[in-house]
Amino acid sequence: MTTHTNNHNQIGAPRLPLSRRARQTAGFTLIEVLTVAAIITVLVGVTIAGLTKGTENGRAAGVVGAISQIKGAVKQFADDHGGLVPITESAAATNIPTSGTTFSAASATVLSKAIILDTVLLTERGAERAIQLPAGPNPPPVNASAADVLWDSTLQKFKLTPDAAPTRDYALCNRLECQLSSATTPETALGTNFFLDGTNGIPSGRRVVCAVIPGCPASLALKISQKLDGVGFSTSETTLDNKGSVVYNTPANGVTDVYIYVADF
């Protein structure tokens, strides 16, 4: 008996048109690949933005916590030393308490860059460790290998051992400063004046202690301001903030120098 083969009755699925078979064996089309890539890009961007926001919130909270500790240390020092805190930055070198002929002969600018209040608090045990403000780039001081200025707790003066002109420079570092108050508007006062109530400045002749954060990202500066002062004084990361305990000038290239009020005496 002769067996006849009928192609229509062969076991298996019917043959697909060439175009459909090509698509199934070739994988994803270019449009599908680009669509998936676009979705992944969006998801990554959203994730990074969320992480950045979370990181900035954490840093702002860290700054708030540090300021609280600093206020306690500064108050303790002032209570133990007749209600005063030594001047660390001034346009007049004679305002800064210094010891040593050569060291004392340095200009006000040089002394102001080399002296920070952190040193006093550490020496007098007002702070158990170096002040940590988790914000801004906070690079090492210029000439970090040079001898650091010391605080003489007996003389209540700054000194350098051996006696010499200071070369270390903390101007770009996060730090604490004590300066005489001025009538300059807060955003340009460099920490010498604050409108704590939003209107009135600090009276003339007061010693103002503040924390300084150079080169702080504007978005972080805004978060710090809102955590310490509320949302009434600062609402935008592109404008200056000259009211309350946190002040800064108009950000440039997304960064600004932040000054945070600690105390005045």
Alpha helices by DSSP H, 81-145: 101-104, 108-114, 117-123
Any residues with CB less than 8 A from the CB of 89 and at least 6 apart, and which? 96, 112, 115, 177, 178, 179
Helix, strand, coil % in the chain, rounded to nearest 5: 35, 15, 45
Q: How far is CA 257 from CA 31, 157, 172, 238, in A?
A: 48, 28, 10, 13
| DSSP secondary structure code for residue 195 in this structure | -
Let me know: does 150 contact 159? Beta carbons within 8 Å: yes
From 205, 213, 222, select the one nearest 90 (Cα to Cα): 205
Q: Where are the domains of the chain?
A: 46-264
Under a CB-based contact definition with an 8 Å cutoff, are residues 260 and 246 in contact?
yes
- 72 by DSSP, 3-state: which? helix
pLDDT value at residue 115: 98
Q: Is the pTM of this model over 0.95?
A: no
**Measured between alpha carbons, how far is residue 48 from residues 18, 53, 54, 202, 222 in Å?**
44, 8, 10, 41, 20
Q: What is the pLDDT along the chain (265 residues), one digit of tens a residue?
A: 455 545 544 455 555 555 555 455 556 787 867 777 777 776 655 544 444 556 899 999 999 999 999 999 999 999 999 999 999 999 999 999 999 999 999 999 999 999 999 999 999 876 666 668 999 999 999 999 999 999 999 999 999 999 999 999 999 999 999 999 999 999 999 999 999 999 999 999 999 999 999 999 999 999 999 999 998 888 899 999 999 999 999 999 999 999 999 999 9
